[in-house]
């Protein structure tokens, strides 16, 4: 079974704090993704990575950065958290050449 884990299920931070969301997958997948899910908007892609140290912007990258130093780990960084970044954050991984993404359980981030 593919397993995608995220470091926290719930997180509360203050405006201006630097926030790290960690994601780890155990199936040697090449591609990893970060989404945010908001009511009425579905899942929107923030960033993705197709290889170690490689990254590409998704649809809504503003205010976020990412890091992929190892194949199994993909981090999402909020340099200076703002209240409009309060959301559910979902990480996914996918074997290159296939189309099925496997998702982690999500991190509910609240920025006060």
Partner 1 sequence: DQQVKQNSPSLSVQEGRISILNCDYTNSMFDYFLWYKKYPAEGPTFLISISSIKDKNEDGRFTVFLNKSAKHLSLHIVPSQPGDSAVYFCAASEVGGSARQLTFGSGTQLTVLP
Q: Which residues contact 58 (CB under 8 A, 6 or more apart)?
A: 33, 34, 35, 44, 45, 46, 47, 48
Say whether residue 110 binds partner 1 (CB under 8 A): no
Say whether residue 41 binds partner 1 (CB under 8 A): yes
Say whether residue 22 binds partner 1 (CB under 8 A): no
Give the nearest distance from C-beta 55 to partner 1 in angstroms. 10
Say whether residue 52 binds partner 1 (CB under 8 A): no
- Cβ contact 73:7 at 8 Å: no
- Residue 41 CA to residue 52 CA, distance in Å, equals 30
Give the nearest distance from C-beta 3 to partner 1 in angstroms. 11
Report the residue from 34, 94, 109, 111 that binds partner 1 according to the rule CB under 8 A: 94
- Cβ contact 37:87 at 8 Å: yes
What tokens does 10 get?
A: 């719930």
Task: Note the residues at the interface with partner 1 (CB under 8 A).
Answer: 4, 9, 30-31, 33, 35, 40-45, 48-50, 54, 56, 58, 90, 92, 94, 96, 99-106
């Amino acid at each position: 079974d593919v397993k995608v884990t995220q470091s926290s299920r719930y997180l509360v931070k203050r405006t201006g704090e630097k926030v790290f969301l960690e994601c780890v997958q155990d199936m040697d997948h090449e591609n990893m993704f970060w989404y945010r899910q908001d009511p009425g908007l579905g899942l929107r892609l923030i960033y993705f990575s197709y290889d170690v140290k490689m990254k590409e912007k998704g649809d809504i990258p503003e205010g976020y950065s990412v890091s992929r130093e190892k194949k199994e780990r993909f981090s999402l960084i909020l340099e200076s958290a703002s209240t409009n970044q309060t959301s559910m954050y979902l990480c996914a991984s996918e074997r290159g050449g296939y189309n099925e993404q496997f998702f982690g359980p999500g991190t509910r981030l609240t920025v006060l």
